[in-house]
Amino acid sequence: MSIKTGDPIPEASFKRMTSDGIVDISTRELFEGKKVVLFAVPGALTPTCSEVHMPGFVEHLESLKAKSVDTVACVAVNDVFVINEWRKLRSIPEDIVMLSDGNGEFTARIGLELDASRFGMGTRSRRYAAVVDDGVVTYLGVEPAGQVGVSGAEAVLKELG
């Protein structure tokens, strides 16, 4: 069963690359007392994720922050090294928090796994965007396969008013 609007974010942790190396960040640290836009991609460096989904959040980053959003974060079921290289190759600003859910534990806890094994990618995350206010989901847009609509930055901006 997948997470839905009104549900709290479960306890989990992510890996994140910083100037000091790899650090863990818990869902509590990420969401407690903050308004966070969290968006998930099936795979760093994949065409739709790199050419459509991520660019929208880069383009609209300041507009999202102007809507009282404290943090914009991207999560993928990729290792932290791949996530970090994606940031470098695509010039993703440091203001977008890049999170590795390398083992897919967070993704499984929220019930948004994607079986991408037919593409040789194993279990990944479905494409979605969520607005999380103090640890509670207030918006969740989960995409049908191959689409970027309800999970795009424009949809999130509309949701935020």
* Domain, as residue range, for 57: 13-160
Interval 13-24: pLDDT, tens: 999 999 999 999
7 falls within a domain:
no
3 falls within a domain:
no
**pLDDT value at position 52?**
85
Model confidence, pTM: 0.94
Active site residue 74: no
124 falls within a domain:
yes
115 falls within a domain:
yes
6 falls within a domain:
no
Interval 76-99: pLDDT, tens: 999 999 999 999 999 999 999 999
Structural domains counted in the chain: 1
Examine the pLDDT at 71 and tell me if it is beyond 90: yes
CATH number at residue 103: 3.40.30.10
DSSP assignment string, 90-120:
HT--TTEEEEE-TT-HHHHHTT-EEE-GGGT
Q: Which of 37, 38, 49, 148 is catalytic?
A: 49
The sign of the torsion formed by the CA atoms of 128, 149, 72, 93 equals positive
The model's confidence at residue 50, banded by pLDDT at 50, 70 and 90, is: confident
66/49 Cα distance (integer angstroms): 24
Sheet containing 71-76: which strands, arranged edge to edge?
21-26, 13-18, 96-100, 71-76, 35-41, 128-133, 136-142
52 falls within a domain:
yes
